[in-house]
Structures are given as C-alpha cells and as structure tokens.
Structure 1
Amino acid sequence: MRAALALLCCLVALAAAAEKYSDRWDNIDLDGILRDDKKLDAYLSCVLDGGACSREGELLKRVMPEAIRTMCGRCTPRQKEGARRAMDYLKQHRPQQWSRLVRKFDPTGEYTRKYEALRAQGKM
C-alpha cells in the first residue's frame, strides 16, 4: 500500500524531522484511500492494533499520538488538510471505527474538544 493513512491522518505518517514532518507523502491520493474499503480497513486495522502494518501504516501509528497531542503542530499545511478530511470522513462514514480511534488516542476527549473548538472558529 502506498500512502499513510489517511485515516487520520495519513498525513501524519511521516518520518519525524526537526521542525515539520516530512512532506514525502503530501501528494498521496487520500480520496482514493478513503474510497477503497480494503486499503482503509488495512490502515485502520494497523493503527488500532488489529492487524499487520505496512511501512506507511507503522509510520502513521508511530506519529499519530504526537500529532494528536499537538493538534498536528508539526504537520505541513497539506497534512493538516488531509487529517481534517480523513477525520470528517471517518466520523461520517465509519463512526464505529472513529469511536475506537478516539478511545485509543484520546480517551479523556481532551483533544477532540480542542479540535472541535478550532473547527468551530474556522482554524482547522
């Protein structure tokens, strides 16, 4: 599989650099991943510890906790946009998996509330 999810944030599946995450995957076909149930399921399974991970999936899984904590502070603009689109898609089309992701990465709801506040202000 080529591309780091998406999911959440495919986007964030980047090798950590000093200031920003690498822009290596900024041009992935996120919409293609979100429309392809098999690819999306593979990323979700990886990130939720339910299956094997591709190299990109491992990167996503490793970077995701920091990206969530920092509201994607080290993400490139494209990665931030991709994360927003992936989250919106998952909330609308995959609510059960979205809930599992939130329970795993934001069990107190702290970051979800911050994200929603920023969205309401038009900052995300």
Structure 2
Amino acid sequence: MKSTVVILIVLAVLAAVASAQQTSWETLETMDVDNVLKNTKLVKRYLDCLLDRGRCEKNGKDWKGMLPRILNEGCSGCTPKQVEKSDQIVNFMKANHSEDWAAIEAKYKTG
C-alpha cells in the first residue's frame, strides 16, 4: 500500500515537471520573435535576467531553462518552428549583442 502511494506521488511530480517543461517550449513555439527582438527594452530585460543582472519574469525564467538544451543539444526534440525561432534569436544576439551573447554561452554552454 505504501509503495503504491509513493509511486503515485512520484508520477504526480514527474507529470508536473513535464508540464512545466512543455509550457516553456510552447513559449518558444508561439513567441513573436520579430517583435521581441525589435523591442530594445525587452531584449535588455531578457539579457539582465539570463545573466543574473536583474529580475526575471516568466518568459525569462523559461529561457533560462531552455538555453542549456538549445546550446548544448542543438535544440534536440524541438519542433522545426522552435529550431527556426531559436536560431533567429541566437543569430540576432551574436550580431547585435555579441558581448552579452559570449557571457550567455560561457554561463549556459557546457563543453
């Protein structure tokens, strides 16, 4: 009986984690990347969040969770749309915020 309760609790926790991860990736799926990248104040907020220089809102926290997978695994498991959008963001950052991007890679990229 106790083992059944433990198994149910573990399954509930795993479901909650999977749901949270799905929500993060859905953010990338539905994000209007062009408008975000045109908004310099928003880009600065995301950069400050990612580099622990400021407050993080939900999307910033989502990005913190996604960056390691994007940088280290080539966005494995991403949909074609998510890959396209993440590539667009990375290319924008490299071209327009190269010093911040180097700091992000140093912080989130392993190996």
Q: Compute the TM-score of the two structures, normalised by the length of structure 1.
A: 0.65
SS of equivalent residue, structure 1 residue 16: helix
Residue matched to 1:49: 52
CA RMSD of aligned residues (A): 2.1
Give the partner amino acid of 1:16.
Q
User: Is structure 2 residue 82 aligned with structure 1 residue 79?
Assistant: yes
Larger radius of gyration: 2
Structure 1 pair 104/25, CA: closer, same or farther in 2 (3 Å)? closer
The CA distance in 1 between the partners of 2:33 and 2:71, in whole Å, is 19
What is the aligned residue count? 92
Using structure 2 for the length normalisation, give the TM-score.
0.71
The 8 Å contact of residues 48 and 100 in structure 1, kept in 2 or not, is answered as yes
How far apart are residue 37 of structure 1 and its match?
0.5
Q: Which has the higher helix share?
A: 2
User: Following the alignment from structure 2 to structure 1, what is the Cα–Cα distance between the partners of residues 30 and 66?
Assistant: 18
SS across alignment from 1:62: helix
* 1:24 Cα deviation after fit: 4.8
Gaps of 5+ in 1: 1-13, 111-124
Residue 95 of structure 1 corresponds to 98
Identity %: 26
Q: Which runs of 4+ in 1 moved over 6 A?
A: none
CA shift in 2, pair 1:15/1:105, >3 Å: same
1:78 Cα deviation (Å)? Answer: 1.0
Indicate the larger mover: 78-87 or 98-107.
98-107
**Partner of residue 41 from structure 2, selected from 18, 35, 38:** 38
What is the CA distance between 1:90 and its match in structure 2?
0.8
Which has the larger displacement, 46-55 or 97-106? Answer: 97-106
Q: State the structure with bigger RCO (CA 8 A, min sep 6), 1 or 2.
A: 1
Segments of 5+ residues of structure 2 without an aligned counterpart are 1-18
